[in-house]
Amino acid sequence: MTETTAASAPPTDQISVRNLTMAYGDFVVMRDLSFDVSPGEVFVIMGGSGCGKSTLMRHLLGMIEPATGEIFYGGESFTSASREVRESYLRRFGVLFQGGALWSSMTLAENIALPLEEYTGLGAAEIRDVASLKLALVGLRGFEDYYPSEISGGMRKRAGLARAMALDPEILFVDEPSAGLDPISSRLLDDLILELRESLGTTFVVVTHELASIFAIASKAIFLDTVTRTATAIGPPIDLRDHSQDPAVRAFLRRGEEEHE
């Protein structure tokens, strides 16, 4: 699998992007992006620094409007939806930004409680139970009353993932999960993403340039090329590494190739 195709096909997957162009004013970041994400996939957005990976994720979340093109969820247009409809979609999503984005003045349990207090009718005791459950799912049972400054960077990432899961999202968006982590912590986080996908059936959209993570977790990946300013390949990373006709894709995926042979 190499080139992105079927841009005009009707959207039927959990996420469908059609002819998306991302731009800041007259500067085009990426053009003509078309791809689908199926339920239960770990879909990786990859490419070199400055290619627009995080920008694409922000478009998928409605934080930035497309210059052209459209984004669909479950076959329904997200791009043209009203503000109220968009908000209903966003409550079905979870987001983990690079730093974990935890409130430093709150304990881990209090951080997870925030979305539950805002969007559910659960009582205080029930919210505490849910927070404990989410922390247990990410391997942080017993850390409810710890503050972010009292735990390691890898644990903060896992706590951020627990908060992103607070409302049992259908899709989890994760931006550079391995950023700032040592190789062991990074591998543990990759393993956790796969465990959650298997146990909960959650769909993941992950932004990363880290080869180890790409090969470990991705069901499918899209490559954003800074030269052509478009997606030049989409498919399982190993297939792209071994069979892509695009030398830029092969070069990107063969960095440190000896580690994956």
Same domain, 187 and 160: no
Domain boundary among 169, 203, 222: 169
Domain boundary among 169, 198, 218: 169
- Is residue 111 one of the residues assigned to a domain? yes
| Domain housing 118 | 102-169
The end-to-end CA distance of the chain, in Å, is 20
Same domain, 59 and 118: no
Question: Nearest CA to 194 among 168, 172, 169?
Answer: 172
Same domain, 178 and 163: no
Q: How much is the pLDDT for 185?
A: 87
Q: How much is the pLDDT for 54?
A: 94
Q: How much is the pLDDT for 44?
A: 98
Same domain, 1 and 68: yes
| CATH number, domain with residue 75 | 3.40.50.300
Q: How much is the pLDDT for 71?
A: 97
Domain boundary among 118, 135, 169: 169
Mean pLDDT score of the chain, rounded to an integer?
A: 90
- The label of the residue with tokens 């986080």 reads 189
- Tell me the pTM: 0.88
Same domain, 180 and 57: yes
Same domain, 82 and 133: no
**CA atoms within 13 A of residue 215's CA, in its CB half-sphere:** 17
| Bridge partner list, 18 | 70
Same domain, 34 and 147: no
Number of structural domains in the chain: 2
Same domain, 163 and 175: no
- Is residue 97 one of the residues assigned to a domain? no
Same domain, 43 and 20: yes
pLDDT in tens, 172-202: 999 988 887 888 888 999 999 999 999 989 9
Same domain, 85 and 176: yes
In the β-sheet with 68-73, what is the strand arrangement from edge to edge?
27-37, 15-24, 68-73, 76-77
Q: Is 155 exposed, middle or buried (0-12, 13-18, 19+ CB in 10 A)?
A: buried
Same domain, 154 and 232: no
Which residues of the chain fall below pLDDT 50? 1-8, 258-261
- Is residue 164 one of the residues assigned to a domain? yes
pLDDT in tens, 204-237: 999 999 999 999 999 999 999 999 999 999 999 9
Same domain, 22 and 61: yes
Q: How much is the pLDDT for 7?
A: 44
- Is residue 261 one of the residues assigned to a domain? no
- Is residue 154 one of the residues assigned to a domain? yes
